Structure 1
Amino acid sequence: MENVENKVIIITGATSGIGEATARVLAKHGAKVVLSGRREERLEKLANELGDSAIYLKSDVTNIVDMKAIVKLAKEKFGKVDVLFANAGIMPAGNMSELDLKGWMDMVDINIKGVLNSMYAIIPEFYQQNSGHIIITSSRAGTTLVPGNAVYCGTKHFVKVMLQSFNSETNQEGKNIRTTTIYPGAIKTELLNHVVENDHKKMVEGFYEQFGLQPETIANAVLYAISQPDGVDVSDLVIRPTFEG
């Protein structure tokens, strides 16, 4: 696909789900993918399958040193970075009255701080080369209100508004940096693994099983955004099942 071949793309949360599927789709279209995640055995397996198109680093988005290290690795191996796909995220759902402080803070650390750490590591490179593309996985929860998911919604609203504001800043500064926020609906990933076992989880799992989309659906959306001509900025993509209940 045009404008994808030989692009160097960092993918966080690449050990499963959307991140893994996106790495496969992009590599198939000639991109070089730099895989980030906390489960090294999965990263190694995926990189081996993708061959010379992929490298990996066991890394945690909550650690700024790790994020700087993966940018450094990408430059050492492939000479540049064209795209950051900040995809890592968790969703330990539950009503706020349950007082799951650890779950709240984990979401803030990964869904918000993890994105900011990734951007902090890559922004100097993009500004220096006056080009780049930042893609963030938000959620349909970043466009609406979802009872039982208040903190998760908050984190996904944050990345939406933050990236829109960053885009306006880069325009004012005359920098050629594209930004894309992706809002997945129900996707069959490991996201529900973080949800506490209860009747609500069983109901949601049933919906996902019946109507949830495959991760490749989002991977193809990422491919679409990256493949556009350099002067085209695909800002927002909402991808959801036709039936949402």
Structure 2
Amino acid sequence: MVPSKVVLITGASSGIGEATARLLAAAGHRVVLGARREERIEAVAKEIRAAGGMAEHHALDVTSLSAMRSFAAGAQERHGQIDVLVNNAGVMPLSPLDALAVEDWNRMIDVNIRGVLHGIAAVLPLMRARGAGHIVNLSSISGHRVDPTAAVYSATKFAVRAISEGLRQESRDIRVTVISPGFTSTELSDGIRDNDIRAAVREGMRSAIPATAVGAAIEYAITQPSEVDVNEIVVRPTMQA
């Protein structure tokens, strides 16, 4: 039987983060939910507890290093350790480069790259001091390929893979996993401003896998024996090209 772990999850108010929280709590792990939508994560945590799981929630903006450090420090103080961080928070406002959607570019850089780095900065010293820990970073199929309208988004997800590989090579006591989902049922497409692009993405999402499929991949990675480091998992619909 896998021992109960303390798992911090960013972007846990919906999609992959929420599904992962529910799945891990049902398996007996203690989940700490972080997201900007505090009312939503409060509701999710309450539902998890009502179902017999262990969950707590805290408002979190991953673009703030101080907020991320406070999130991690609070969990460390309450539970005495942090076993896993799931760096899940992400945004995907796709657009062609000539649309010059600079604010959207910066938002993706802030959330998808800086957010991941802030998570690492918050938990790595605690894990190093303990001599154990596991950091799971969410990339994407877009971190393996580039499609029109996704140049900046893909760049951020390529960066997540590069950061993760660097951390893995620098670590002997911290496990590092990259999860790269394909089309998954989430709210990511809601942030696309261009109606035609949003419609095209949603058309592709008709074959999407449920967020629980990605949560199951995360659960698999974190429940392996301590000497086994699952470095990368790609999970996508069978029908996706």
TM beyond 0.5: yes
2:136 is aligned with 1:130: no
Q: CA deviation at 1:112?
A: 0.3
Q: Specify the alignment match of 2:72 in structure 1.
A: 71
Matched, 1:198 2:199: no
Alignment of 1:33-52 (within 5 A): 33-51=31-49
Q: Which consecutive aligned stretches of 4+ in structure 1 deviate over 3 angstroms post-superposition?
A: none
- Per-residue Cα deviation, 1:83-117 (whole angstroms, up to 9, x for no partner): 00000000000111100000000000000000001
Q: Deviations over 1:138-196 (max 9, x none)?
A: 000001111110000000000101110111111xxxx3110000000000100000112
- In structure 2, runs of 5+ residues without a counterpart are none
Distance 2:204 2:93 in 1: 17
TM-score by length of structure 1 reads 0.95
| Distance in 1 (alpha carbons) for counterparts of 2:136 and 2:127 | 13
> Please, which moves more after superposition, 117-126 or 70-79?
70-79
Take 1:61 and 1:113, find their aligned partners in 2: how far apart are those partners?
8
Q: Which amino acid aligns with 2:207?
A: F
Contact 2:95/2:197, CA 8 A, preserved across alignment: no
Q: Deviations over 1:170-228 (max 9, x none)?
A: 1xxxx3110000000000100000112322321221220x2011100000000000110
The one-letter amino acid paired with 2:174 is: I
Select 1:228's aligned residue among 221, 224, 227: 224
RMSD: 1.0
Between Structure 1 and Structure 2, how many residues are aligned?
238
- Matched residue, 1:217: 213
Q: Distance in 2 between matches of 1:231 and 1:206?
A: 42
Residue 76 (structure 1) shift: 2.3
Q: What TM-score results when the alignment is normalised by the length of structure 2?
A: 0.96
What residue is the counterpart of 2:13 in the other structure?
15
For 2:126 and 2:152, how far apart are their aligned partners in 1?
32
Q: Distance in 2 between matches of 1:78 and 1:54?
A: 12
Q: Which runs of 5+ in 1 are unaligned?
A: none
Paired amino acid for 1:101:
V
Percent identity, please.
40
Q: Distance in 1 between matches of 2:109 and 2:182?
A: 20
Q: Which amino acid aligns with 1:166?
A: L
2:186 to 189, 203, 222: 189
Equivalent residue number for residue 111 of structure 1: 112
